Amino acid sequence: MDKAVVLASGGVNSTVAVALTREQYTPYLLHVNWGHRSAEREAIAFQQTASAMGIENTMLVEIPGLAALGTNARASRRLSIEDATTLEKGTPATFALALLPSMLSAAASWAGCIGARRIVVGVSEDHGVPGPAISEFYPDHRIEFIQTFNLMLKYAMPADRELVVEAPLLEMTRAEVVRLGMRLEVPFKLTWSCYANNEKPCNRCLACHIRAMGFLQARLPDPLVLSEKAVVLCERVQG
């Protein structure tokens, strides 16, 4: 099978994208640590999900300059991460300018090294949860951005080389992604979504809100939440 580099954050969408990719390609998983608040916990989720899915081709790249150069609440503790219920149209403090383009560029570099002809990213334009579409908050989640990045790659690559970014979940809601992940036996218990913390989900940020609503709309329990409740119950019994 052809090789594909998959941007894998350890979150819901990217892990489903990994499961979907391995049905058609040999997946090579790229995780980027860009100095953000939840970097440590996301790296653990990335490693654990890759291991649980039996994928050995992995790489972790550090781009700390993205946090130093850009002002956003996901990296800077001087800025507050908004409560998801207060967000309206506009740019949230959690938007990191040039984050996804930088990650895709890193993926393109690795793809060139290993001879991969595809880069897979798990973004969606609209998660289908109450409030504005995610692409209204994060403009690099739009199909126009993916198309434009592919056009850039075309002009950046030698004429005899092929490299294309695919976003297989782009038109899917979070509930649809969750249902697909369940069918593909994705280890959701090992995934991580929270922007704010490394230990327990804050249950307030946009990522936590989208995750909770996605499982709720899919009418399926979130295995991460169930596992956390089991830990709390166990601690109470032992105490």
**54-75 per-position pLDDT tens digit:** 999 999 999 988 777 767 999 9
Tell me whether residue 145 is exposed, middle or buried, using C-beta atoms within 10 angstroms of its C-beta: 0 to 12, 13 to 18, 19 or more: buried
* pTM of the entire predicted model: 0.93
Q: Domain 3-238: give its CATH code.
A: 3.40.50.620
As a whole number of angstroms, the distance between CA 60 and CA 42 comes to 11
pLDDT class for 77, splitting at 50, 70, 90?
Answer: confident
Whether residue 84 has pLDDT greater than 80 = yes
Q: What is the pLDDT of residue 226?
A: 83
Q: Helical H runs in the chain?
A: 12-21, 39-52, 65-69, 99-114, 134-137, 143-156, 174-183, 206-218, 223-238
Domain-by-domain residue ranges, the chain?
A: 3-238
Residue 44: Cβ within 10 Å count? 14
